[in-house]
């Protein structure tokens, strides 16, 4: 994933391939700088991490804990901020590309390894959606790439150390996102059906893999067993399970195309009929067999989810870790493309897409002019924080918001305050949530602040929020959206409950 960091001109394809990590790091730094520069407000997953990373826990709602643990660590060093969020995200993306490069380099030359790694930029859930607002999907994709790298190393030369590392990676994959279980299961079944891979995986020291994985997963598995409903309900709701075989086929088809279509079109444009012209001489025949059977298993399981499980909704980011090894299969099956006369065309196409995505990331504030509606990044969170301070808020007392994005954004402005969102989402009880937070604040001798955004709250939120506490005056303020002054301003309401003096 060796790309460009300057908007003036793309470097030559030869330079990209001979210095891949330099260009990858420059691209990542450019994305971090752009994200910090364009807005202090947060997107959905970013805000979620700001709230969850206030403390360490064995689990966080519907998600495993690894990404939030890493975010907690980065926040401890740099403070809860947009910079902390951007650094962790793009470190994860760098790791993803590097690990896939490592897997490909085991069987291909420098150019082929570059193509395999860089091709993942052409998978929109990773190349674009992950830059926009993803967290756990990035980490589980990185662990998927690591698992394939270690599998290839083990087949080439089985060593107890690599078995232990594969166990570690599988555990970290499960702690990143539960869908990694499907990745690991399909990978294991596919590998065990190929004699060369089976002999390696059952060689001396294989037991290190399950032992290491089990030891690392045990604490979270205990938590998951006790919170199974909490951890699975939201995901099952998003799948929109309905009776009737086949209803989810269109959604699955669209999701699959959403992951692979752009890459397939660019690859076809660059190499044309060379993809299917003989001679056929895979770089590692056993690996093409394993990967082909892996993808066949993945498709069968997804179809079974539709036909037997009634799943009707698939999102491309869910499919990303399952499908990300597709470029590895393609270029391993056709290693001769590394000497193809049109080889530089593919390299330059990927570099151009990398530059385009960087420009798009910097221009997100103006997308609302086309849509006619504001994005979360247009929210005037700095101005709102100033209004709250002027109204008396001390910046340390608990802050209770009507939606989690507002809560997360305000935590970056008030890092000393405990923030939370009290909503009706997933059966939440606003009045109980607010009353409990107010009681904790009272016991600590603190005040507490209620705050809402008009377009992100239930109509009766304020009546519920103050129904079980001593009400305070509710004030309102309209603030202009960043870069979208022609659109109606954002409307916020808040009520500051100062700490009561002790008698």
Spatial separation of the C-alpha atoms in residues 58 and 207, rounded to whole Å? 26
Beta bridge partners of 490: 479
pTM score > 0.85 for this model?
yes
For the chain, the 3-state helix, strand and coil shares in percent, each to the nearest 5, are: 65, 5, 30
pLDDT tens column, 116-133: 999 999 999 999 999 998
DSSP-based three-state secondary structure for 329: helix
Spatial separation of the C-alpha atoms in residues 500 and 503, rounded to whole Å? 9
**Radius of gyration for the chain, computed over Cα atoms and rounded to the nearest angstrom:** 25
Q: What are phi and psi of 84, to 5 degrees?
A: -60, -45
Burial group, residue 216, by CB count within 10 angstroms (0-12, 13-18, 19+): middle
pLDDT tens column, 129-159: 999 989 999 999 999 999 999 999 999 999 9
pLDDT score, position 4: 33
- Total number of residues shown for the chain: 503
Spatial separation of the C-alpha atoms in residues 257 and 264, rounded to whole Å? 9
CB atoms within 10 A of CB 77: 8
pLDDT score, position 1: 38
pLDDT(70) > 70: yes
- Write the CB contacts of 183 (distance below 8 Å, at least 6 apart in sequence): 140, 144, 147, 173, 321, 322
pLDDT score, position 2: 39
pLDDT tens column, 296-329: 999 999 999 999 989 999 999 999 999 999 999 9
pLDDT tens column, 319-328: 999 999 999 9
CB atoms within 10 A of CB 385: 18
pLDDT(9) > 50: no
pLDDT score, position 241: 83
Fold of 376-497: Rossmann fold (3.40.50)
What is the SS3 assignment for 231-261?
Answer: HHHHHHHHHCCCCCCCCCHHHHHHHHHHHHH
pLDDT(14) > 70: no
pLDDT score, position 12: 53
Could you please report the per-residue DSSP string of 360-403? HHHTGGGHHHHHTS--GGGS-HHHHHHHHHHTT--SSS-EEESS
Q: Are the CB atoms for 381 and 410 separated by under 8 Å?
A: yes
- Write the CB contacts of 21 (distance below 8 Å, at least 6 apart in sequence): 2, 98
Spatial separation of the C-alpha atoms in residues 212 and 161, rounded to whole Å? 11
Q: Are the CB atoms for 100 and 120 separated by under 8 Å?
A: yes
In the chain, domain spans: 13-228+241-362, 376-497
pLDDT(15) > 60: yes
pLDDT tens column, 71-120: 999 999 999 999 999 999 999 999 999 999 999 999 999 999 999 999 99
Q: Are the CB atoms for 9 and 15 separated by under 8 Å?
A: no
């Amino acid at each position: 994933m060796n790309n460009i960091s300057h908007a003036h001109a793309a470097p030559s394809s030869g330079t990209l391939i001979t210095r891949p990590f330099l260009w990858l790091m420059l691209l990542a730094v450019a994305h971090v700088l752009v994200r910090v520069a364009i807005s202090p407000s947060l997107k959905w997953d970013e805000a979620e991490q700001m709230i969850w990373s206030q403390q360490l826990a064995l689990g966080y709602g519907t998600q495993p804990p690894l990404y939030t643990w890493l975010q907690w660590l980065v926040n401890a060093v740099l403070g809860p901020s947009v910079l902390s969020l951007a650094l962790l995200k793009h470190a994860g993306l760098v790791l993803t590309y590097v690990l896939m490069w490592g897997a490909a380099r085991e069987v291909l030359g420098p150019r082929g390894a570059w193509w395999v790694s860089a091709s993942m930029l052409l998978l929109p859930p990773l190349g674009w959606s992950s830059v926009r607002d993803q967290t756990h999907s990035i980490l589980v994709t990185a662990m998927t790439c690591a698992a394939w790298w270690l599998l290839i190393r083990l087949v080439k030369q089985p060593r107890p150390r690599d078995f232990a590392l594969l166990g570690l990676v599988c555990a970290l994959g499960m702690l990143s996102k539960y869908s990694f279980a499907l990745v690991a299961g399909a990978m294991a079944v596919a590998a065990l059906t190929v004699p060369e891979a089976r002999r390696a995986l059952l060689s001396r020291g294989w037991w290190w893999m399950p032992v290491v994985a089990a030891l690392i997963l045990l604490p979270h598995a205990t938590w998951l067993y006790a919170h199974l409903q909490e951890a699975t309900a939201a995901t099952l709701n998003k799948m929109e399970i309905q009776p009737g075989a086949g209803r989810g086929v269109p959604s699955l088809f669209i999701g699959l195309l959403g992951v692979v279509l752009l890459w397939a079109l660019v690859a076809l444009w660059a190499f044309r009929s060379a993809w299917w012209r003989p001679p056929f001489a895979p770089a590692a025949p056993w690996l093409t067999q394993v990967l082909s059977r892996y993808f066949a298993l993945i498709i069968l399981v997804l179809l079974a989810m539709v036909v037997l499980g009634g799943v009707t909704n698939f999102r491309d980011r869910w499919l990303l870790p399952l499908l990300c090894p597709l470029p590895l299969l393609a270029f391993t099956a056709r290693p001769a493309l590394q000497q193809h006369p049109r080889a530089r065309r593919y390299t330059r196409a990927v570099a151009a897409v990398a530059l385009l995505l960087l420009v798009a990331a910097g221009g997100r504030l103006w997308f609302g002019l086309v849509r006619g509606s504001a994005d979360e990044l247009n929210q005037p969170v700095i101005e709102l924080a100033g209004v709250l301070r002027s109204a008396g808020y001390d910046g340390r007392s608990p802050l209770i918001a009507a939606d989690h994005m507002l809560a997360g954004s305000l935590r970056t402005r008030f890092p000393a305050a405990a923030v939370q969102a009290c909503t009706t989402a997933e059966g939440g009880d606003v009045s109980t949530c607010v009353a409990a937070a107010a009681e904790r604040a009272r016991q600590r001798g603190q005040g507490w602040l209620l705050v809402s955004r008009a377009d992100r709250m239930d109509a009766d939120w304020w009546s519920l929020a103050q129904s079980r506490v001593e009400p305070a005056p509710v004030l309102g303020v309209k603030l202009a959206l960043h870069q979208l002054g022609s659109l109606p301003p954002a409307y916020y309401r808040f009520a500051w409950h100062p700490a009561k003096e002790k008698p």
